[in-house]
Amino acid sequence: MTTYPKPFLSPTDLVAKLKLKGMVVTSASDAEMAIRKIGYYRLKGYFFFMTDSSTGNYLPNTSFDEALKRYEFDAKLSRVIFDYLLEIEVSIRARLVEAFRLTGEPLALNDPLFFKDKKNYWDNTATIASEIKRSSDDFVKHNFNIYNGLIPVWAAVEVLSYGTLSKTIKNLKPHANSPFSLLVRNYSYTNSSGTVITPSQDMFSSWVYATTVLRNTCAHGGRLYRRLFSIMPQIINNDAFTPCLPRVSSLYEAILAMKYLRPDVTSWNSFSATLKGLISTYQHCINLNDMNFPSDWQNHI
């Protein structure tokens, strides 16, 4: 077996190492308990960036307690975001079913004529079939038993993963009165000139994909604070950065994608109020720049 150059360290050893590198640790026993409960490597994500690159030591006044507070903020933020993402996901599923209803084709997901790229269609169809097969929902069993295994859109959409749903939407034909065009009418917005804009397929798909990545990160307990995501959602002109910030795919951009996909204004107002309250509570130990929030973020969120 290949030997790894670093050995396992106990929580006591890890706290001693942090102190040796200049971190302020108010209570060694509390820090050890936090490491046992949360894990050193997970906690490190909230203080690894606070080092002097020339020495490898922590910057003056770098506090373990503040890093732990950042973790607490992130954990609460993740739960708040995940709960609202579920609302967004449910509404997209319902609106997609309604869009397909207007075509009059209950088995439309089985028809390649509704989709642009046929290879992607068949790849995705294999995934859809697998997800339907895995389902233990009563309505799937009902269609197996009563309708000879035919699964209509309204049943299939409910068992697809959010990622598969995202790929399905992205591959729909976008022409007038197509299921896609009917779906995105729910997400029209008014630009700075007062014109109502219906998002393009690229724009809408970028929003859905961004929220898919964000949802998966939250679901698996991933860190949101100071995280860069793999997808850059398209931002509408009304939310242009002022002053102009470097465009990166961070939490702020993903939250804007959530706003664009909100089921309704009332639920969004409730979510944004909770978000603002959480940020206010932890403002002493977090830096909004670390999540790419601009100075006027409250005007957009």
Written as one string, the DSSP assignment of 62-85 is: -BHHHHHHHHHHHHHHHHHHHHHH
What local confidence, expressed as pLDDT, does residue 244 receive? 53
The Cα 86–Cα 218 span in angstroms is 11
- The encoded tokens of residue 48 equal 């690894």
- The answer to whether residue 109 is domain-embedded is yes
Angle at 250 between CA 248 and CA 256, to 5 degrees: 105
What local confidence, expressed as pLDDT, does residue 246 receive? 53
Residue 200's nearest CA partner among 185, 221, 219 is 185
- 5 prior amide bond cis, ω within 30: no
Number of domains in the chain: 1
- The encoded tokens of residue 253 equal 């951009």
- The encoded tokens of residue 254 equal 């993903």
Pairing relation of β-strands 196-197 and 189-190? antiparallel
Count each helix (H run) and each strand (E run) in the chain, helices first. Answer: 13, 2
CB neighbour class for 58 (10 Å; exposed up to 12, middle 13-18, buried from 19):
buried
- The answer to whether residue 152 is domain-embedded is yes
Question: Which residue segment(s) compose the domain that 153 sits in?
Answer: 103-176
- The answer to whether residue 170 is domain-embedded is yes
How does pLDDT run across 102-130, given as a tens digit for each residue? 889 999 999 999 999 999 999 999 999 99
Mean pLDDT of the chain: 93
**pTM of the full predicted structure?**
0.92
Regarding predicted confidence, which is higher, 141 or 98?
98
- The answer to whether residue 69 is domain-embedded is no
Residue 53's identity, in one-letter code, is: S
What local confidence, expressed as pLDDT, does residue 17 receive? 96
Tokens 């050193």 appear where?
40
238-244: long-range pairs with CB below 8 Å, 24+ = 238/189, 238/190, 238/191, 238/192, 238/300, 239/300, 241/294, 242/294, 242/295, 242/296, 243/294, 243/295
37: left (phi over 0), alpha (psi -120 to 50) or beta: alpha
- Name the strand (E) or helix (H) holding 172: none
- The answer to whether residue 159 is domain-embedded is yes
Q: What is the mean pLDDT of residues 62-79?
A: 97
- The answer to whether residue 151 is domain-embedded is yes
- The answer to whether residue 16 is domain-embedded is no
How does pLDDT run across 220-249, given as a tens digit for each residue? 999 999 999 988 899 998 887 755 555 668
- The answer to whether residue 128 is domain-embedded is yes
